Chain A
């Protein structure tokens, strides 16, 4: 699979990362390297092996359904750029 510069720009846009044209070409090269590695891995015969979703073969430990957190909004909001009426203020976005 070979990627194009447009693919790189699209991925960058989705991730909200600004890239210049020269950076894009550099990233394209790195991506191609990564994809080669993936292709190499995919050539391994994995018949009969169950796919894993996590690097370790362990399962989740769960917490009991209890309220343990306290109200710390003042602390959290002390580092927020703008706050009003206990709300975080952000540039207006309407979908």
Chain B
């Protein structure tokens, strides 16, 4: 039997506010334990939560970016459970009416365009952190993270493979960074996913029983966990067993998922509206103000790159894969300020996606830490466009830029890399080569094309690689054919 895998993701994006969602404590990562936990965060008696406008603003930005409904009125609820890193005994979340309903995320998997519908996105607070080691049989509790604002983004079960799930998660990750609502730092837990996975016979309209894999904090783990889990479920069903609804954990050490709790043991959260918090109202004016401050979104930017700058779909898609790259591209283009923006765009895209990406990759650096800044690359592009540099010489200049040897012009000057485009100088070189290689000249005139290439090579060599190859070809051919 052929099986179909069905996946839905719940993603927690930590909103990059300065202060917590319901208190004035700082949210900075890595502070000494409990130094950023206020009376509200540690849940001292008598305190009241007050909602942070910045967290709401970021939720609205997300709603606009995914073309969702932003509810004019939403409700905060208490999700009740007991755990030491949750001092109130409940997490403030949203239940009946979330701030964002619906929406969709569109991305490509290979050649195919894929749309994943979103169910909702709601605001909630994060819990603290439990440390289970080294406290003579006790657990240590750090409440710095308690009250950090999260946006939980819930998708419909629209994905059909681990690849699709990863592509969706990557698109979402790029989007939340693009609209500057989340720093996307997965090591620090700023962006993490739970995956609901089920399998069903191909063609079946009914969903299978799902198991939820908790807390996946890398794309690689997301892929491995879903693949393992789906295979495990298929094996169970093929052996005649049934799947029991459950929550599981992924162990990166052995690549397997293991049972955390079954449906019987599932939490009964007893949600109810939090009497401490009044309904959240978002009026039209606030929406419009936020809409006016939205950056151009990746899809719009890609279509601009394609229609205005005639970039290929592949080039454009690669440039908008994250905001830093797209901004870098625009900055280079603006600094070059070319007469022919289409030719320049293609050239810049090639350099960013080619030489620069490769160098960053080798050095394991992000674009924002690139030793070659946009203006520096623009200097190089300008000299390629005015034919001062051949592509070979340009690569040498790029190495100079990378190593901090100065601007493109300074490197060209210092290393003497200027391309020779003076036809008089090239003619002189060609004449010398013809004079010194009579045999090959005769071979060429006798019909041996190979001899021509050899002569071109000799002229290039005589110029130390600096002669403009197109001109060498032209002048040499002219002289040989007329002689």
Contact = CB atoms under 8 A, between A and B. Distances in A.
The DSSP consensus for interface residues of chain B is loop
A93 interface: yes
A90 B83 CA distance: 10
Given A53-B75, A87-B131, A92-B132, A62 B56 contact: yes
A93 B34 contact: no
Contact of B19 (A65, A87, A90): A65
Contacts of A77: 34
Interface residues of A, number: 36
Contact residues on B (Cβ < 8 Å of other chain), bracket: 35 or more
Contacts of B112: none
Contacts of B97: 53
Interface string A72-95: 110011000010111111111111
Contacts of B96: 53
Given A54-B273, A65-B17, A68-B24, A73 B37 contact: yes
B105 interface: no
Interface in B316-352: none
Interface in B21-71: 23-26, 32-39, 42, 44, 50-56
A43 interface: no
Contacts, number: 128
B275 interface: yes
A67 B139 contact: no
A60 B280 contact: yes
B240 interface: no
Contacts of A95: 83, 260-261
B135 A89 contact: yes
Given A14-B268, A16-B82, A67-B19, A54 B32 contact: no
Nearest to A14: B268
Interface string B126-148: 00001110010111111100000
A87 B38 contact: no
Nearest to A90: B84
Interface in A6-33: 14, 16
Interface string A41-80: 0000000000001111011111111111101110011000
Nearest to B32: A86
A89 B130 CA distance: 9
B277 interface: yes
A60 to B, nearest CB: 4
A60 B278 contact: yes
A54 B279 contact: yes
Contacts of A66: 18-19, 24
Given A77-B34, A93-B84, A60 B23 contact: no
Given A59-B73, A63-B24, A67-B18, A89 B52 contact: no
A84 B141 CA distance: 10
B356 to A, nearest CB: 36
Contacts of A62: 50-53, 56
A16 B82 CA distance: 8
Most interface-central of A14, A65, A67 (chain B CB within 10 A): A65
Given A59-B73, A60-B277, A86-B35, 13 more contacts: A16-B82, A54-B279, A59-B279, A60-B280, A60-B281, A62-B51, A64-B53, A64-B54, A65-B17, A67-B26, A76-B39, A88-B84, A95-B260
Closest 3 CB pairs of A and B: A65-B54, A68-B24, A87-B140
